[in-house]
A and B are shown apart, each in its own frame.
Chain A
Amino acid sequence: MAIEEDPEAHELEALRTVVSFEGRRVLEIGCGDGRLTLRYSHAAASVVAIDPDAESVAALAAERLPNVETRAVGADRVEIAPQSLDVVLFAWSL
């Protein structure tokens, strides 16, 4: 079975109490290999998932999620149009 992170989905449950991703345009900063992205992105209109760790981002990109764009870049260098997002999610990255 190996390593299993948050199998109880406490993280997603807590997120759902404070934000809805339904139809939202999301920037996720610190997506890593997409552990969290995979759990909420189906509800979002679009997700730009970024992380400076190219290897981890490649793992998420390999999932080929239709509404998720991945970029191997840090928060200080990502280019996003002003006022174009509904949610900026700092995923254990602040």
Chain B
Amino acid sequence: MVHALRRAHRMLAADGLVVDLHPTAAESAIEVGAEVTGFVAAGDAIERHAAADSALAAVLESGLFLVDQVAAFTFYTYADTIEELREYIEENWRDARLDDPTVARARKALQRSPGARPRSRERVVVTTLRRAQMR
């Protein structure tokens, strides 16, 4: 990760920016309407996201970049059924799975709110780094 950021530094023009998007270490929730039915069991995701934070910290410490701006947002992924959402997450998110109780609670919530679509909720941070002026 640090290597990739160092390579980015070489590729960037003097006034160039690195823009990094990555999820926070917070657990991703499964929701039906306003109801949280459980959380995604995401394997080593917390460690991976922490490693991304560490890589950013390392290049800041090295003086290659300066933090320009930071913003956060919520990223939702919707499906038509909880089974479809489970299949999508387990196929596309690394080492992630939905446990049976979360799925069962979602099914019941969908019965109570037939118009709702199940969704996952992730909190994501976007950080821009400005290339530091080297002496």
A-side interface residues toward B, CB under 8 Å?
1-8, 10-11, 13-15, 17-19, 27, 29, 75-76, 78, 80-94
Q: How far is the CA of A90 from the CA of B4 in the complex (A)?
A: 9
Q: Is B44 an interface residue (CB 8 A)?
A: no
* Dominant secondary structure of chain B at its interface with chain A: strand
Nearest to A20 among chain B residues (CB) is B17
The 4 closest A-B pairs by CB, nearest first: A14-B73, A88-B8, A18-B69, A75-B4
Residues of B within 8 A of A (CB): 1, 3-5, 7-8, 10-23, 52, 55-56, 68-80, 84-85, 88, 117, 124, 126, 128
With a CB–CB cut-off of 8 A, which chain B residues contact A3?
Answer: 77-79, 84-85, 88
Is there contact, CB below 8 Å, between B76 and A83? no
Q: Are B75 and A85 interface neighbours, CB within 8 A? A: no
* Distance between Cα atoms of A8 and B10 in the complex (Å): 35
Please measure, in the bound complex, the distance between the C-alpha atom of A83 and the C-alpha atom of B85, giving whole angstroms: 42
Q: List 28 A-B contacts (CB under 8 A).
A: A3-B77, A3-B79, A7-B76, A10-B73, A10-B76, A11-B75, A14-B71, A14-B126, A15-B21, A17-B69, A18-B19, A18-B68, A18-B70, A18-B71, A19-B17, A78-B7, A84-B11, A84-B13, A85-B11, A85-B16, A86-B12, A87-B16, A88-B11, A88-B16, A90-B4, A91-B21, A93-B22, A94-B52
Bound Cα distance A90, B8 (Å): 10
